[in-house]
Chain A
Amino acid sequence: MSGILGSDLLIEITYLIATALFVFSLMWMSSPTTARRGVFAGEIGMVLAIAGTLLHHGIVDYKLILIALVLGTIIGIPLGKVQMTAVPQRTALSHAFGALCVTLVGTAEFYLPRETPMSRFMIAVLCMEVILGALTITGSLMAAGKLQEWLPQRPITYKGQNFVNLGLLGIAIIVAVILVMHPERTQLFPAIVAIPLVFGVMMIVPIGGADMPTVISLLNSYAGLSAAAMGFVLNSKLLIIAGALDGASGFILSMNMSKAMNRSFSNVLFGAFGQEQVAAGGTAEAKPVRSATAEEAAAILSAANKVVIVPGYGMAVAQAQHKVRELFDGLTKRGVDVKFGIHPVAGRMPGHMNVLLAEADIPYDKLLDMDEINGDFPQTDVALIIGANDVTNPAARNEPSSPIYGMPILDVDKARTVMVIKRGMGAGFAGIENPLYFLDRTLMLFGDAKGFVGNIVRELSGGAGH
């Protein structure tokens, strides 16, 4: 008996240490200088917690556990080695895996024979765990499919969509309430798994690529909350804390993202984004724009003192980040001060651009957040926009009729010269015309991002050779 108690105490101690290490892990993530230590702390905590769990006296069958751990590792290694451009879909996929684990455990717990029946509160928490988990599974798979472009990226909307979606979720909650009041009706339980699975799909159907940063963060939050709910059911403080930390992280990120897109949080919560984007019924009126060649662009850039590069998803699509690094090197060598201005929703997930540029070996102190860089634009000679559109649209600041009015943007139009690398004059993702392109100080550089930046680099180095 005392031996059993002893092992229980030991297990709890490993959990306690793991919890502390998890908190440290997140604390160390605050700065790039300590962040890798944070990962290490997380790993140690994880190994400790798993080792502790294996000591659990109730475990009679180690074979299954071992096989599952090995199999999970085999799947996990390639998932940890994907290309940096594939990180958004990998992240979405891992939300689905996390939620799958929680949902399966919740389902198994529900059907587990037990001496004393579960309390109503427990059943309610279990239902919440399974509902959140199930909708996160299919929602994340849908998001991953869209990001991988296996599914159409364009939002698919139909009349009454929000009504249908909220109705589905409402039915799931009503069934859950009935189950809590009549726990003997176990036949209702499969509906609590199935309806949210359908809801998860429906929730992502109307979502377009540009909304992905918000959606991924939100799914992250759901995955965390469902894990915390699982902690309540299993009475595991470790799980409650890890789930709460993950939930808080996802929540903060989705708040940031929705703020950066000027969408209210309730708008985000109910999945009603990507909606009502009026198709630009524009007859292609030929407003005059000024365009320039790579040679001219190189001349202007090398004559500048201060250049701010604004990257967007287009840079990622064109895989132009390495060429951008060459441009950065070439200009820096000529004594030009080059910085990057990064909008919170640039790309397909929070921080996406930073990872791509860091991969291309651009020092992180040159990567500045929107709030840090915006004050610099009036003193900037050239703002070079590569593959970004709506996040630079001045209509968000000064045209109350614009659908993106009020969205915080990078004030590139305050720079002395604005250069925009763009394939053609097509509207941005949201289908909104960008008045930036028609300003006198704006030069359009028509072409593929990678090719055009490459040409500028060639012009720059050609000039240096003289």
Chain B
Amino acid sequence: MKMDLLTSLYVFMLAAFIGFEVIKRITPLLHTPLMSLTNALDAIAVVGAIILAGEHKTTLAAILGTIAIVSATSNIVGGFLITDRMLKMFKPSGAKKA
């Protein structure tokens, strides 16, 4: 149990470092799609909700889990959709046909 926690802390720390390094390189041009993308990725919390709803250990857990799946899924679907729609609009000078 204690080891698990420590490992989790290591994982969190390293992921945060990677996050800083990777995000720093992202051009301000794409900061809006970046936010909608990370929003969609963050909705991976759906896996926790799926287990909660699926295991059906208590009625409360099943109900809360189900609502949680709905809200996370809407983020996944909506987030990826709009990110791709935005990115499709970014074209370089050469590709432009007026």
Chain A residue contacts of B75, Cβ below 8 A: 76, 94, 97-98, 101
Q: List residues of A (39-90) whose CB comes within 8 Å of B's CBs.
A: 39, 42-43, 45-46, 49-50, 52-54, 56, 58-62, 64-65, 67-69, 71-73, 75-82, 84, 87, 90
Inter-chain contact B27/A68, CB cutoff 8 Å:
no
A248 at interface, CB cutoff 8 A: yes
A43 CA / B81 CA spacing, docked (Å): 10
Inter-chain contact B38/A220, CB cutoff 8 Å:
yes
Inter-chain contact A113/B57, CB cutoff 8 Å:
yes
Inter-chain contact B23/A249, CB cutoff 8 Å:
yes
Chain A residue contacts of B31, Cβ below 8 A: 253, 256, 349-351, 354
Name which residue of chain A comes closest to B79, CB basis.
A94
Inter-chain contact B66/A53, CB cutoff 8 Å:
no
Inter-chain contact A65/B89, CB cutoff 8 Å:
no
Q: Mark A203-244, 1 if CB is under 8 A from B, else 0.
A: 000000000000011001001100110111011111111111
With A240-B12, A252-B20, A369-B29 already in contact, the answer to whether A58 and B51 are too (CB < 8 A) is yes
Name which residue of chain A comes closest to B72, CB basis.
A101
A269 at interface, CB cutoff 8 A: no
A7 at interface, CB cutoff 8 A: no
With A30-B25, A244-B16, A252-B23 already in contact, the answer to whether A238 and B35 are too (CB < 8 A) is no
Inter-chain contact B44/A238, CB cutoff 8 Å:
yes
Inter-chain contact A68/B69, CB cutoff 8 Å:
yes
A352 CA / B16 CA spacing, docked (Å): 25
Chain A residue contacts of B98, Cβ below 8 A: 329, 361
Chain B residue contacts of A108, Cβ below 8 A: 52, 58, 60-61, 64-65, 68
A104 CA / B93 CA spacing, docked (Å): 47
A285 CA / B69 CA spacing, docked (Å): 59
Q: Mark B62-91, 1 if CB is under 8 A from A, else 0.
A: 101111111111111111111111111111
A180 CA / B77 CA spacing, docked (Å): 37
A67 CA / B76 CA spacing, docked (Å): 16
A223 CA / B87 CA spacing, docked (Å): 23
With A46-B40, A53-B51, A220-B35 already in contact, the answer to whether A81 and B81 are too (CB < 8 A) is yes
Number of A-B residue pairs at CB separation under 8 A: 379
A224 CA / B78 CA spacing, docked (Å): 17
With A36-B88, A72-B72 already in contact, the answer to whether A64 and B23 are too (CB < 8 A) is no
Quote the shortest CB–CB distance from B10 to chain A (angstroms): 10
Inter-chain contact B50/A23, CB cutoff 8 Å:
no
Q: Which of B47, B56, B76, B85 contacts A236 (CB 8 A)?
A: B47
A38 CA / B72 CA spacing, docked (Å): 20
Chain A residue contacts of B57, Cβ below 8 A: 112-113
Chain A residue contacts of B46, Cβ below 8 A: 50, 53, 101
Chain A: how many interface residues by the 8 Å CB criterion? 117
A56 CA / B79 CA spacing, docked (Å): 26
A361 CA / B43 CA spacing, docked (Å): 31
Chain B residue contacts of A366, Cβ below 8 A: 93
Quote the shortest CB–CB distance from B83 to chain A (angstroms): 5
A169 at interface, CB cutoff 8 A: no
Inter-chain contact B53/A64, CB cutoff 8 Å:
yes
Name which residue of chain A comes closest to B36, CB basis.
A91
A363 at interface, CB cutoff 8 A: yes
Chain B residue contacts of A230, Cβ below 8 A: 45, 48
Inter-chain contact B82/A75, CB cutoff 8 Å:
no
| Most B Cβ at <10 Å: residue of A45, A73, A216 | A73
Q: Which of A241, A352, A359 contacts B15 (CB 8 A)?
A: A241
Q: List residues of B (19-39) whose CB comes within 8 Å of A's CBs.
A: 19-20, 22-39
A29 CA / B88 CA spacing, docked (Å): 13
Quote the shortest CB–CB distance from B30 to chain A (angstroms): 6
Quote the shortest CB–CB distance from A325 to chain B (angstroms): 9
Chain B residue contacts of A351, Cβ below 8 A: 28-35
- Can you give 27 A-B contacts (C-beta < 8 A)? A26-B22, A29-B34, A46-B41, A53-B46, A56-B51, A61-B54, A65-B69, A72-B76, A73-B73, A81-B82, A90-B78, A100-B67, A101-B43, A102-B45, A104-B67, A104-B68, A111-B60, A119-B1, A232-B8, A242-B41, A242-B45, A246-B19, A246-B38, A349-B31, A349-B35, A361-B89, A363-B91
Residue positions of B touching A, CB distance < 8 A: 1, 4-5, 8, 11-12, 15-16, 18-20, 22-58, 60-62, 64-93, 95-96, 98
Other CB < 8 Å A-B pairs besides A22-B41, A35-B30, A68-B66, 9 of them? Answer: A27-B25, A90-B36, A91-B36, A94-B36, A105-B64, A220-B35, A237-B8, A350-B28, A364-B29
| Leading 9 A-B pairs by shortest Cβ distance | A72-B73, A80-B81, A76-B77, A248-B19, A351-B31, A59-B54, A79-B78, A68-B69, A244-B15
